Structure 1
Amino acid sequence: MPNKVNWQEIYNTEYVNAPECWKTCGGYCCKNFYGEHFNILDKSGVSLPLLENEYEYYKSIGGIKNITTPAKKRTFTLSNGKSFSIYLLSCQCGGLCEPHGHRPLVCRIYPYFPIVDAFGTVIDFEYSALMDLFYRDPDNNHKCTLVREQAIKLKRELTVSMKPLLRDPEVVFIFRCLKELVDRLKEKMGGFIDTLDESQKKKFIAKYEWMILSGKPWKDPAFSKRIDTIYDEVKAAFGNEDFL
């Protein structure tokens, strides 16, 4: 059987060791930045995705007590009949989650997620929050202090600390799919928000909302075929055993 993540081990791992970094940026990572421009999406709630096995562990330890809205379950089915589910938590804690040690993986590895090959080897990193994708020059003008000042160090540390997580083919598959998802979104959006004036910014956000809600960037046979290919590649890399 393919290796599966020990979520207790993951939740006991400190991926980003930057105590009180929120004091340097006003808790940017835990806010729905640009939310004041949203007309349809939640202006204040941050959406936190969890894999099904992670969500089961998260529930077993009691979750975050001040996230009270039930998670939304989204199930996706591949052409081969295999399926996987993502649970979305709507968080309005603003960084004051209780207990802090129960926060999901996506929070623990912010501001990045790993770009990996089919074997789970880290090749590079991409921004884990969708709106973070649209900075032209993040090394200089990103609002997260870690991105501006500690990117090289942080990526080096994550490359090492995420190895246990990336022994699970399902996790590798999800990260590879996420890379395809964000690449499609960037392609459809075709711009950078930090180059726009206020009027242009509102139009950009309106387009972004439409893309997210309609799912347009990902509604075509080519995208579905690519996801099928990713599954086959990861399956082959991990010994040709099904993992979903």
Structure 2
Amino acid sequence: MPNKANWQQIYSTEYVKAPECWKTCGGYCCKNFYGEHFNILDKNGVSLPLLEKEYEYYQSIGGISNITEPPKKRTFNLSNGKSFSIYLLSCNCGGVCEPHGHRPLICRIYPYFPVVDATGTIYDFEYAALMDLFYRDPDAEHKCTLVREQSERIKRELTISLRPLLQDPEVVFVFRCLKELVDRLKLKMNGYINTLDEKQLKKFISKYEWMILSGKPWKDKAFAQRIDDIYDEVKAAFGGKDFL
């Protein structure tokens, strides 16, 4: 059987070493800084995705006490009959999650997620929060201090610390799917949020909300086929064994 992620080990790993970095940015990673412009999406909460096995472990350790809203489960079906589920936590903790050591993987690797090939080898990084995708020059203008000032160090450290996690083909598959998802969203949005005046920003946010809620960027045969292809590529790279 392919290697499976050890979530106990993952939740004890410090992926990004930046103690109290929130003091330099107002806790940007844990707040919805564009929420005031939303008309439909949650104005305050941030959405935290967890894989099914991660969510099972998260529950087994008691979760985060001040996240009380039940998660939303999203199940995705492939044409080969395989499926996988994502659990979405709505977090309004503003960075003061209790206990802090129970925060999900997506929080631990922020501000990035790895862009990987079918073997799980990292060859690039993408922004972990969807709204972070829409800065013209993130290295200079991003609200996260780590992106502006320490991006190269963070990426080097993540490249090493994520290796054990990326021995799990399901994790590799999901990260590859996530890259396809954000590429489609960027293509549909076609703009930079930090270059817009108030009127343009309102229009941009409205379009963004519609894209997220309707799922329009991902509702076509080409996208579905690409997800099927990714599964086959990862399966082949990990010895031809099914992993979902």
Q: Number of aligned pairs? A: 244
Partner residue in 2 for 1:227: 227
Partner residue in 2 for 1:29: 29
2 CA distance for matches of 1:193 and 1:29? 17
> Which ranges of structure 2 fall in alignment gaps of 5 or more residues?
none
1 CA distance for matches of 2:162 and 2:33? 27
TM-superposition CA deviations, 1:91-143 (whole Å, max 9, x none): 00000000000000000000000000000000000001000000000010100
Pairwise mapping of residues 200-211 of structure 1 onto structure 2 (< 5 A)?
200-211=200-211
Q: Secondary structure in 2 aligned to 1:229?
A: helix
Partner residue in 1 for 2:67: 67
Partner residue in 2 for 1:215: 215
2 CA distance for matches of 1:153 and 1:163? 16
Task: State the TM-score, normalized to the length of structure 2.
Answer: 1.00
Partner residue in 1 for 2:97: 97
1 CA distance for matches of 2:128 and 2:154? 14
Structure 2 counterpart of 1:62, which letter? G
Structure 2 counterpart of 1:185, which letter? L
Partner residue in 2 for 1:107: 107
Task: State the TM-score, normalized to the length of structure 1.
Answer: 1.00
Pairwise mapping of residues 37-56 of structure 1 onto structure 2 (< 5 A)?
37-56=37-56
Structure 1 counterpart of 2:182, which letter? V
2 CA distance for matches of 1:58 and 1:194? 35
Partner residue in 1 for 2:179: 179
TM-superposition CA deviations, 1:204-225 (whole Å, max 9, x none): 0000000000000000000000
1 CA distance for matches of 2:112 and 2:198? 27
1 CA distance for matches of 2:29 and 2:223? 29
1 CA distance for matches of 2:140 and 2:190? 21
Structure 2 counterpart of 1:177, which letter? C
Partner residue in 2 for 1:137: 137
Partner residue in 1 for 2:159: 159
2 CA distance for matches of 1:35 and 1:68? 20
Q: CA deviation at 1:172?
A: 0.1
- Supply the RMSD in Å over aligned alpha carbons: 0.3
User: Which 4+ stretches in 1 moved above 3 angstroms?
Assistant: none
Identity of aligned residues (%): 82
2 CA distance for matches of 1:33 and 1:135? 14
1 CA distance for matches of 2:84 and 2:228? 13
Q: Secondary structure in 1 aligned to 2:208?
A: helix
2 CA distance for matches of 1:74 and 1:154? 30
